[in-house]
Structure formats: C-alpha cells, structure tokens
Structure 1
C-alpha cells in the first residue's frame, strides 16, 4: 500500500478581521490543489475567533503581538516553535515586517510573500501584488494553479453560535432581519451617524422586521437610535455569532468594514456597502455578487488613503455626506418592500 505523504502548509496573516475573512477562499484552493495537506494558520486572537470550525484548517496558532508575543523576543519564540513543525510551504499575505521575519524564522524551504512586502528578500518566492485585482483574487494567486472555479468566502458558526442567536432574537426570528453596521476603525470610513439614525427612524415602527444594530464594544459609545423594532447587538456577540446573525438577514447596511466581508459568506444576504474615502480599485469591495455599492465616483479626491483617516483632508467630507439616507432607504425597500 502506497504511503500518503502529508504536505505541511503554514499561512501567516495577522491583519484586520476583514482581511482574515477574505483569506478563506485561499484555504479552500490550497485543499483543492494539495488534498493531502495539513494547514496551520497563524493569526491574531480576533482572526482565530472568526476562523474557528473551518474544516480546511488543521491548527490555528494565535499570535498575540500586543501581549505574550510582543517585540523581537516574542517573534523569535513563536518562530522557534514554528521551525520545529517543519513546514513544506509558508504563505504570508501580510506585508509587514514582523510577518516577513516570522516566515523566515520557520526555516521552510518555500516561503511565499508579496514582492512589495517589508523585507521581501526573506521570501524564496515573491508574488506580484496586483492592485487591479480584488483582495480575494490577490490571495488566490499564492497558489499559482489556474482554475475557472470561483472560490467563495467560508465561515462556520457552530451549534452554540446558532443557539445563542436564537436566544438573542427571543422568538422574533420569523421576522425579516435588517442588519445595521455603523462602525469602522477609521473615522472617514463612517457614514454619518445621523444618516444611520434617519434610516432607523424611518423603519423602527415596522412590525414585520427587526433592525439589528451590530458592532464591537467601540461602537457602544455611538448615540444610536433606540426603541420600536431596534435590537442592539453591539458588544454582545462573538464574531461567529455575528456571522450567524448576518446569515439570517435579508440585507445589511454597512460601511467599508469587516461586516461587508462577513456578509459576503452568505449568498442570500444583500449587502448595501457605503464607500467614502476608499475605492473599488483598492480591492476591498464586496466579494458577494448580491451587493450594491454607494459611492461618489466623480470626486477627484478619492481615494485619499488606503484605510481612511481621522479627518477629511479636503475638510468637506463630500464622499460621505453626499450619500443621502434616501438612497439607502430606496434600496432597502427594493428588498423588503414598503408597508
């Protein structure tokens, strides 16, 4: 009987939650091309939380770069552990110095990273970072085998996540769910809060829907509209519970932030994505085909940065304030109908 040799593959990606979600199609492609592979994934604690239960991953290792793995000593200690694993291939989509060093410390004979990554000379294979491609397509290029298959985002809430969402909905799960995600790490990526509140005020008295306001603990400080059919989930869900809640929704209204990518895992959920300082060409538009993007394409000052910022450089913030609530409400009504 022929002995099957396992290929040991390591993925190092310690970026934001949305970036980690967007890497799940790559995991599926790795398993398609290397069916006898074991995949280990090194990521942040938040990244580990959203990747849990993914059947393509054999092991998740948390890289706590602000805690026990902080600084050069922390990187060295984690790298030493990874070296003992004898990985055949290391894939590092994260383009920052710490990730490049960590890849090198594994001692793997094949270390793939982007050409424009910090310390890219530490990689044995350098991948072109094609700015014209969606982030998912960029990530898929780490496995060079061409295929016509479209790889989808995959998230895996488990039975406990499902039961928790059942409990939080308190028997209202038969109503249509409209998810509202007003947060973002970056100020200029946030559609004005008063606009979100106008949408909530318009819909809060409808008895056939639930308005589910979502976000992390940071968003709890937002003075969001309350009452009626509005249910506040901010700071009350894990990432996979959030994914399960979004899975049940008719649609989601969201800034350019991680909920876009989480929602892209579910074909039935319509995504209404609001883009201000960022543009499609940066590669982070919804991967889901069931999506509508709102943006001011004619503004010459867009994009003003890769991630957004703390204030509008032009001091007018037209990219957001000119996207009026009526535009969003019209698209919502196309999906859930008017009363």
Structure 2
C-alpha cells in the first residue's frame, strides 16, 4: 500500500487488557504503512507492555486518573500531541476524552467506532461489531483505509533481562525448569469480577493435596491484600509474586507455568500473549462481549444465570444481592477444568 501518512497516533488509555488487545492493530498498521512513525498514547500502568515493540516509535503516557487528573494536565497533553503534528489518529478507546484530545490537538484524520462517546468528533466512524473478539474489532478500524486484516495473537516479547530476573527468582526458590506449577491471578479492577477468595483458597489446597502442584500468585500492587490473604489462609507452600514483578515479568512466570487460572481480567490476555492457556472464570461479565482468551484450547467457566451478564465491566456490588454468578462456581469445578493442563 502507498504510504500517505508520516505520523500515526493510536489512542488506548483504558485498562491493561485493552492495551494488550491493541497490539495486533499496531503491527498491522506498520505492515501497511511501513514508512510511517507510530506513536501510542496510554496510561503509565500499561507502559511496560509496549516497551520494546519495534513497530512503535514513541510511547506517550497520560496518567488521567491520578497524577495528571484535571484540566491543566489535560491541556498539557493536548499541547504535547499537537506539537507532534500527527496526520492520523486511530482511536479504539471509545471514550469522549480520547476523541476530544485528538480533535483539540488538530489531528486532521480521526478514526474510531461509531459507538464512541466522542463519535461526533471523529472524521471516520467504523461500525462497532458486538459479537466478535476485541482484537478483530480493533482491526476493523483499518477498514477506514480500505484494509481487511485477520486477527492474530497479541504477542508480548520479554527481554533477556526480564528472563534473567525470573531465573534468579526461581533459583532462589529452588524452582527447576521442569517444575509443575500453576499461576493464579485472583485480582481485578472490579470487585464483582473476582471469584470468591475462599474459592481460590480451596482450589490451591486441592491442587496441592491431590496433585502436589503448587500455585504461584501474580498481580499488581492493588491486588496485594487479596493475594496475601489467600497465602495466609492456605497453610501450604505457595509462591506470592503479587506486587513484585512488572507486567512482562509476570508474563514470563505465566509462560513457565502449566496454565493460568484467572478472573475476567487483563491477566487473561497477558497469558495469551505469553503463549499460555487459560482457565478463566466469568461472573457479571460474559465472553460474548468479545474479551475472551483469543485462540483455541482455553477453558471458560460461567454460570447460566438469569441476571448475568449484568455489566461490561462488573461493579462494586451484586445488583441482585446474591452473587450467584460467582458463588455457584465451585472449587471442584475449577479444579477439574485445570486437570487437563497438568
């Protein structure tokens, strides 16, 4: 394809999983616009994921929820983006703010979804397809250029330094390359997307007592309290890496394990990008929203209950006050699902 764009900005300032699912879009844009420089606007907590991707010329961070919250930082990021003189913005993030930034920064071509809260600020609106995976949905934005692209795994590359770091951690714990263990990510940004704490405790006990398989906990600093409680309640050997690793280092731990067990969270997509299968537990959300583990060989556990799904993200509390979508998923059911990966 003839290259008509010098600089392209991709905007995805949502959650970690959303950023991972944008990686195939990045690679496809570079594939068709080889001479273009690609920039990516994202939150600082997702930065580690995209570092080292050769298709990206520069990562621009915008800490919209904490350090850069408010009107002054908002104006500052607009000025920063305006100074770069982008030709095109591709905006998979369906937020008003993302579209507004690109409009006020004077980017002449702004491509996003027709369901975006800022759709009226876009120059090209692509239909948002509901019953497809988010990776394929993101790639559909290329139709604005007349491009039809097939989906692919969002590969996450790990540096030799990160691999050496995990090697050192494993050596200190006397974990061998052939160690048979599972990785568990019990956290989530949303309370109701978390399977029961006692469920994870019982699962870890079952894996150890019936199969002598240890569990390794991963997560961010926000998940530390949950992981520490799980570790304290199990009373058996467990490795708790929560809050101690970068995202890519967590991905390397997942890669070395037999399988990841997780809620519907960014960890699912981190595992897929690290080449590992997933047992994912759904509660208030649903695979039909398009955020299921990409590819084949994964296991999805979900209860067929009248009130689920109730939200695309989940919430702080169960609206029906019974939380059956999670409570009805037993540790034995999850254990049996994990067995085929051991």
| Normalised TM-score (structure 2) | 0.91
Deviation at 1:68, TM superposition (A): 5.2
Q: Show the counterpart of 2:9.
A: 10
Q: Write the distance in 1 (CA, Å) between the matches of 2:90 and 2:4.
A: 20
CA contact (8 A) 1:296 1:319 kept: yes
**For 1:238, which of 215, 238, 246 is the aligned residue?**
246
Distance across 2 between alignment mates of 1:316 and 1:300: 12
Contact 2:262 2:279 in 1 (8 A): yes
Richer in helix (by share) = 2
Change (3 A) 1:58 1:239: same
Aligned-pair CA distance for 1:106: 2.5
Corresponding residue for residue 172 of structure 1: 175
Tell whether the 8 Å contact from 2:142 to 2:149 is kept in structure 1 after alignment: no
Match of 1:21 in 2: 20
- Shift, 1:160, TM fit: 1.7
The equivalent residue for 2:261 is 253
Q: Deviations over 1:64-117 (max 9, x none)?
A: 224553322222222122122221210111122221111112312211122122
SS in 1 for 2:136: helix
Q: Does 1:186 align with 2:193?
A: no
**TM-aligned CA distance change 1:132 to 1:14, over 3 Å:** same
Measure how far apart 1:168 and its partner are. Answer: 1.5
The CA deviation string for residues 171-216 of structure 1, in whole angstroms up to 9 with x for no partner, is 4132023001111111211111111101111223589644111112
Contact 1:209/1:229 (<8 A) preserved: no
Pick the aligned partner of 2:271 from 263, 268, 293: 263
2:180 corresponds to 1:198: no
Cα distance in 1 for residues equivalent to 2:318 and 2:236: 34
Give me the whole-angstrom Cα distance separating, in 2, the residues matched to 1:163 and 1:208. 27
Secondary structure at the counterpart of residue 60 of structure 1: strand
Taking the aligned partners of 2:160 and 2:5, their CA distance within structure 1 comes to: 30
Which residue does the alignment assign to 1:72? 71
Cα deviation, residue 164, structure 1: 1.3
Give the distance between the partners of 1:209 and 1:56, measured in 2 at CA. Answer: 39
- Per the TM alignment, residue 62 of structure 1 is displaced from its structure 2 partner at its CA by 0.8
Q: CA deviation at 1:230?
A: 1.2
Match in the other structure for 1:158 = 159
User: Compared with structure 1, are the counterparts of its residues 129 and 217 closer, same or farther at alpha carbon in structure 2 (3 Å cutoff)?
Assistant: same
Secondary structure at 1:312 match in 2:
coil
For residues 253-281 of structure 1, the C-alpha deviation after alignment (integer angstroms, 9 at most, x for no partner) is 000011001011133x2200000111122
What's the CA shift string for 1:104-138, capped at 9, x where partnerless? 12312211122122232211111211112211111
Counterparts of 1:147 and 1:81, CA distance in 2: 32
Which is worse superposed, 108-117 or 61-70? 61-70
1:61 aligned counterpart, secondary structure:
strand
Query: Alignment length, in residue pairs?
Result: 332
Q: For 2:284, what is the secondary structure of its paired residue? A: coil
